[in-house]
Amino acid sequence: MYQPPVKDFLFVLDAQLNAAQLAKSTYYADFSSELAEAVLNEAGRFATGVLEPLNRPGDQQGARWTPDGVKTVDGAVAAYRQFVADGWVQLGVPQSAGGQGAPVVLAIAAEEIWFGANMAFMLCPMLSFAAVEALLLAGSPELKKRFLPKMVTGEWTGTMNLTEPQAGSDLAAIRTRAVPDGDHYRLFGQKIFITYGDHDMADNIIHMVLARVEGAPPGVRGISLFVVPRTMPETGASNDVRCVSIEHKLGIHASPTCVLAFGDQQGAIGYLIGEENRGLEYMFIMMNAARLSVGVQGTGLSERAFQQALAWSRTRVQGKLIIEHPDVRRMLLAMKSSTQAQRVLGLYAALQNDIAKTLPAGEARAAAVARAELLTPIVKGFCTEQANVVTSLAVQVHGGMGFIEESGVAQTMRDARITAIYEGTTGIQSNDLIGRKLLRDKGAAMRALIAALMADLGAAANDPPAVAAAAAAARASLQSLQQTVDGLFKIATASVPAAYAVAVPLLMQCGFTLGGALLIQGAQIAARRLATGDADAAFLRAKIETANFYSTHWLPQAAALATTVHSGSASVTTAELI
Ligand SMILES: Cc1cc2nc3c(=O)[nH]c(=O)nc-3n(C[C@H](O)[C@H](O)[C@H](O)COP(=O)(O)OP(=O)(O)OC[C@H]3O[C@@H](n4cnc5c(N)ncnc54)[C@H](O)[C@@H]3O)c2cc1C
């Protein structure tokens, strides 16, 4: 039974990141530590009371296609109604758009809890939020008036329609056509893999669709973004968009993954968002938020997997309780420490978005935006790849039972698999990291981040020896990362494909180093609190021990990856694959 790790969230938000600093700005004047605690406790109650009980039955039953539309799993409609009634849809939506305006860092923390309890359910609200963001960002006042209010309350849900059979990672290949027709367009084409593209949980579904206006330039510069409602809001008439089938998948069975046909008859009515041919640009801004959320899915499932494995190890006896076997302890600590490193990395990245919003336009704000953008592919790629490792370890801790569906842990592993694929595969995140983030600003944002973390880890004079050793390891790892990034520029100058050949190892090195540095910085804070006689000594000691484990078991991976980045390109680019 999944338990929300609220205590760890509050430690990271309050003691480590000082998220309450946001309240100094008028933008987040209502925010406080107490508010964060209340919200996370309530989010946790929703997770354990409503979402968790549906997780396994939903996996077993799965969403179903019918000629009258997709039917979600038993209980999902009621759970969604409750989610809406409790006002959760509005949590992260700005107050100016009728939302509660919670900082991204708090909304992301709540999301991790809900993903941990039931990832398949939560994909629907997550995508709705992304659709709301797209409208807020680039929609005309008229479009906002027509669609936003009911999307913000959750009465209507939203989707993201990018993928087509020939256009997955390569969105330049999109073929869906948009033909101007008076004040709107008519869309013709097929989208695949559309999450919650059809369902019975809400009155209407508002699709955000990438398509090409006839005569637009080829490639990514000719793609536009459209709002296509399933049902026309004013008349209640059905639009010409139809769910043709849903996929049979490895995991997230309760989440319908739809093939959508647009324009089988007269063309699906769509309204242009922003300007023609700028669709991908808008989509990217919205995808950055979604990518952070998908990274956090990895963390939520890692936490779930750890809890499942811990519970099992406390009841299974082989000679003695298996939790007493050193290798099982190692696996549990690997899961726990990875999860906590993922969490602090994700929350740190989310906070940069909030800090940017509180600053006036200028250098400091630009630096916060750059740091958020730099960290987004790292959070997405690293946390989801680690989630695959951590959920697999949970199966290992269960032994043979882990391979058996009744244990529940097999589902966690299956559900986690997709996180490293959708919203841009790990390869695509790594290309983004190198191309758009590191090469474009010549490493400026990364240099500033490394320097900031080095400074945070600096004042370690009175730390206990184990913490001081971990901090020294983290500093060395940060220095090594700086060298790797500098070296990458040399590789890229000589040959761009050579740099892309080691993009994923570089992203993973970033993840281990940055996540490790933040986790170890948390241990320093915990040690200081412990020294002042903080009441929660057991929690603080565990925080320190977890970071110590990370510094000796996970952090060394960064050094190995540095070697690969430094000297691994040629073996990729020159080898014959026969
Ligand atoms: C369950 C599920 C839900 C989804 N939900 C949605 C949704 O709601 N909306 C939506 O629009 N899409 C959705 N998708 C689609 C998803 O985003 C794509 O599957 C994903 O982007 C990968 O595209 P692809 O499947 O075509 O793989 P491909 O692009 O064919 O990739 C195959 C392999 O090639 C690699 N590759 C491709 N190009 C490059 C490159 N330039 N550099 C390095 N490596 C590369 C990839 O990393 C991957 O390993 C969903 C998919 C699934 C399975």
Pocket-testing residue among 70, 123, 163, 423, ligand 1, by greatest number of atoms within 8 A of Cβ: 163
Predicted confidence (pLDDT) per residue in 509-551, tens digit: 999 999 999 999 999 999 999 999 878 999 999 999 999 999 9
Q: pTM of this prediction? A: 0.98
Nearest CA, atom 24, ligand 1: 168
Mean pLDDT of the chain: 96
Residue 224 CA to ligand 1 centre (angstroms): 20
Pocket-testing residue among 119, 122, 162, 169, ligand 1, by greatest number of atoms within 8 A of Cβ: 169
H helices of 407-464, in order, are 409-417, 426-432, 444-456
Query: Across residues 242-248, what is the average pLDDT?
Result: 98
How far is residue 88's CA from residue 86's CA, in Å, rounded to a whole number? 6
How far is residue 175's CA from residue 172's CA, in Å, rounded to a whole number? 9
List phi, psi (to 5°) of 190. Answer: -125, 135
Residue 187 CA to ligand 1 centre (angstroms): 23
Predicted confidence (pLDDT) per residue in 95-147, tens digit: 999 999 999 999 999 999 999 999 999 999 999 999 999 999 899 999 999 99
Nearest CA, atom 29, ligand 1: 169
How far is residue 516's CA from residue 539's CA, in Å, rounded to a whole number? 19
pLDDT of residue 458: 79
Residue 422 CA to ligand 1 centre (angstroms): 6
The SS3 assignment for 415 reads helix
Residues above pLDDT 70, as percent of the chain: 99
How far is residue 201's CA from residue 207's CA, in Å, rounded to a whole number? 15
Predicted confidence (pLDDT) per residue in 174-202, tens digit: 999 999 999 999 999 999 999 999 999 99
The SS3 assignment for 41 reads helix
How far is residue 439's CA from residue 422's CA, in Å, rounded to a whole number? 24
Residues facing 156 on adjacent strands: 204
pLDDT of residue 533: 86
How far is residue 446's CA from residue 135's CA, in Å, rounded to a whole number? 31
Relative to beta strand 156-161, strand 204-213 is: parallel
pLDDT of residue 460: 59
Query: For the chain, how are helix, strand and coil distributed in percent, rounded to 5?
Result: 65, 10, 25
Residues within a 6 A CB radius of ligand 1: 160-163, 168-169, 193-195, 249, 257, 418, 421-425, 427-428, 431
pLDDT of residue 470: 96
| Nearest atom (ligand 1) to Cα of 426 | 47
Nearest CA, atom 12, ligand 1: 163
Decide if pLDDT at 167 tops 90.
Answer: yes
Taking Cα atoms as reference points, which of 186, 119, 125, 198 lies closest to residue 161? Answer: 198
Taking Cα atoms as reference points, which of 419, 421, 399, 426 lies closest to residue 410? Answer: 399
Residue 174 CA to ligand 1 centre (angstroms): 13
Residue 509 CA to ligand 1 centre (angstroms): 23
The SS3 assignment for 495 reads coil
How far is residue 480's CA from residue 558's CA, in Å, rounded to a whole number? 9
Catalytic residues: 423
List phi, psi (to 5°) of 422. Answer: -80, 170
Assign 459 a pLDDT band (cuts: 50, 70, 90).
low
Residues facing 258 on adjacent strands: 194, 246
pLDDT of residue 519: 98
Nearest CA, atom 43, ligand 1: 427
- The b-or-e profile of 86-117 (16+ CB within 10 A means b, else e) is bebbbbbbbeebebbbbbbbbbbbbbbbbbbb
Predicted confidence (pLDDT) per residue in 269-321, tens digit: 999 999 999 999 998 877 888 999 999 999 999 999 999 999 999 999 999 99
Predicted confidence (pLDDT) per residue in 463-503, tens digit: 899 999 999 999 999 999 999 999 999 999 999 999 999 99
Residue 557 CA to ligand 1 centre (angstroms): 27
| Nearest atom (ligand 1) to Cα of 427 | 47
* CB-based contact 228:239 (threshold 8 Å): yes
Length of the chain: 578
pLDDT of residue 462: 80
Decide if pLDDT at 461 tops 80.
Answer: no
For residue 483 the two structure tokens come to 């060298």
Radius of gyration, alpha carbons of the chain: 24
For residue 343 the two structure tokens come to 């969490």
Predicted confidence (pLDDT) per residue in 366-408, tens digit: 999 999 999 999 999 999 999 999 999 999 999 999 999 999 9
Phi-psi domain of 435 (left: phi exceeds 0; alpha: psi -120 through 50; beta: other): alpha
DSSP H or E stretch at residue 211: strand 204-213
pLDDT of residue 284: 83
Q: Which residues are CB-contacts of 271 (< 8 A; sequence separation ≥ 6)?
A: 143, 184, 185, 226, 227, 228
How far is residue 359's CA from residue 73's CA, in Å, rounded to a whole number? 44
Pocket-testing residue among 191, 257, 260, 425, ligand 1, by greatest number of atoms within 8 A of Cβ: 425
* More confident: 101 or 458: 101
